[in-house]
Structure 1
């Protein structure tokens, strides 16, 4: 399955949408690198669309996202009356395309392309505590919708609002409906494919985040999740780019930065509050990650 991954914030954003009713013989238009994503949802009938070397039959209850940088073309005309919604959107930030199944087989994400729209992660030391918290959004390029009726309703509402889209409040509502449509699309992908490795990594992360104050070993984590520590570490490196213990240190430092800014606790007290047994070790970990000492961090944002 081809998957599109967007780095947010900023979020992908809605441009416009519409509804198309095509009789037998009608074809999807041919386009070259139109510069925006095109979400197509078929409510009745079937559309026959190609994107570069891939060919799709988008039938009732299915959705297809056409990329902004590739050639799209009809592979044949409609065989029956076909009703479909279309929606154009931009990534907002960085995005890439790849195949998670190849990632599982080869151990790496084979990226087809990376586009930058202002969503790159900033240098943490420069951005400081007030940097934008980014996260990933994964969407299937082609999927059978888990809740097609909900998708139709959201897309129809987007179209109905268009007559008043000159109003800021309406544009805001349209953006919210668009995010709802993306969530429905993502939900369909999660239901379609099962990736137990991701679940293990997420469970490990939740365990570590909920117990960051406690002394935790790899053995403790393995016993809690009932998986071998080597397997847990491999899954976390694949999903989060670090080992479980490195992830635990990150969690502790996140909490420490909050306490530095929101309390007048001493550095030694904050070290104990966040699971560091020694203030010197806390200071060393903090300096390695933030490129400044805890005191310097506190003064940087609280002076004046």
Structure 2
């Protein structure tokens, strides 16, 4: 499987991205030498894509990076409704392609590390930039699809205000996490039990976010004790299951506020809130602004 190698620094940088819901029968566009990398992450359905002589079936939970210097095309139309994120990115550093990963440098002992440090101090290159290689699989099954989807959704939402320098900075930080997740999917040992539990819980919460979910129901659905689930999600996502669910509901609400004309109360219902006042309170807690003002700020921006 092709591996993309990038010399870092400079860091690969995010350019633009989006979310597409393709109906059955639609094909991915054919393009040649687009001069940027095109990352495709499918959440549901399947994209059928070729690049030069290589053909890929990119199904839910998989990612494909299309090269900037190659010809890519649809090998067939979507057979079902297919949802996916697309990200254009680039690097101004060197990059290349190989059929297998490069072995990591062997771990050196403490004594050798000290000697190398002394050499650097004495050499004229002490203050020069030290580069290294980042390896990315061109096509991979993601270790934590829900975590990747959260990051990509964050990037798409940040597009709304990317004329603000601080927002552009947040985009680049989020994108570096995307790169790290792609790189991590090359790990041969696979996800840890903690990561597997957290991923299953996150997937269930995202699928049933409109419902009133209890800790017991979540535990029964994925066959783990609620306390263990909470511990795993705190470790992998940095928050408890209920907080993860609330954050996801708020993210969905933000999309509806920006992309539809639905009333605020109706949007609250759509994302799992039974009472408009509670929705407004939770939204303000997480975003620091009411749903109505969030919509107004963007529409008048």
Q: Is 1:180 aligned with 2:199? A: no
Whole-Å separation in 2 of the counterparts to 1:94 and 1:39: 18
Q: CA deviation digits over 1:94-153, x for unaligned, max 9?
A: 00001127x79xxxxxxxxxxxxxxxxxxxx99722101111100000000000000000
Report what 1:12 is aligned to. Answer: 12
Distance change >3 Å, CA 29–CA 126, structure 1 → 2:
farther
Instruction: Please report the TM-score for the alignment, with normalisation by the length of structure 1.
Output: 0.55
Report what 2:28 is aligned to. Answer: 28
What is the DSSP-based 3-state SS (H/G/I as helix, E as strand, rest coil) of the residue aligned with 1:68? Answer: coil
Whole-Å separation in 1 of the counterparts to 2:131 and 2:94: 11
Unaligned ranges ≥5, structure 1: 105-124, 194-304
Match of 1:151 among 129, 138, 148: 148
Whole-Å separation in 1 of the counterparts to 2:177 and 2:132: 17
Q: CA deviation digits over 1:147-189, x for unaligned, max 9?
A: 0000000000001011110111110000000000010111111
Unaligned ranges ≥5, structure 2: 104-121, 191-301
What is the DSSP-based 3-state SS (H/G/I as helix, E as strand, rest coil) of the residue aligned with 1:174? Answer: helix
What are the within-5 Å matches in structure 2 for residues 5-84 of structure 1? Answer: 5-84=5-84
Q: Is 1:142 aligned with 2:134? A: no
Is this contact kept in 2: 1:14–1:174, CA < 8 A? Answer: yes
Is this contact kept in 2: 1:13–1:89, CA < 8 A? Answer: yes
Whole-Å separation in 2 of the counterparts to 1:32 and 1:127: 44
Q: Is 1:165 aligned with 2:162? A: yes
Count of residue correspondences? 173
Report what 2:97 is aligned to. Answer: 97
CA shift for structure 1 position 190? 1.4
What are the within-5 Å matches in structure 2 for residues 190-229 of structure 1? Answer: 190-191=187-188
Q: CA RMSD in A?
A: 2.0
Distance change >3 Å, CA 9–CA 127, structure 1 → 2:
farther
Q: Is 1:189 aligned with 2:176? A: no
Distance change >3 Å, CA 18–CA 9, structure 1 → 2:
same
What is the DSSP-based 3-state SS (H/G/I as helix, E as strand, rest coil) of the residue aligned with 2:187? Answer: helix
What are the within-5 Å matches in structure 2 for residues 211-290 of structure 1? Answer: none
What is the DSSP-based 3-state SS (H/G/I as helix, E as strand, rest coil) of the residue aligned with 2:181? Answer: helix
Instruction: Please report the TM-score for the alignment, with normalisation by the length of structure 2.
Output: 0.55
Is this contact kept in 2: 1:37–1:90, CA < 8 A? Answer: yes
Whole-Å separation in 2 of the counterparts to 1:127 and 1:178: 34
What is the DSSP-based 3-state SS (H/G/I as helix, E as strand, rest coil) of the residue aligned with 1:129? Answer: coil
Is this contact kept in 2: 1:23–1:81, CA < 8 A? Answer: yes
Q: Which has the larger radius of gyration?
A: 1
What is the DSSP-based 3-state SS (H/G/I as helix, E as strand, rest coil) of the residue aligned with 1:128? Answer: coil
Report what 1:205 is aligned to. Answer: none
Report what 1:274 is aligned to. Answer: none
Whole-Å separation in 2 of the counterparts to 1:19 and 1:127: 48
What is the DSSP-based 3-state SS (H/G/I as helix, E as strand, rest coil) of the residue aligned with 2:42? Answer: strand
> Which runs of structure 1 show a deviation greater than 6 angstroms over 4 or more consecutive aligned residues?
none
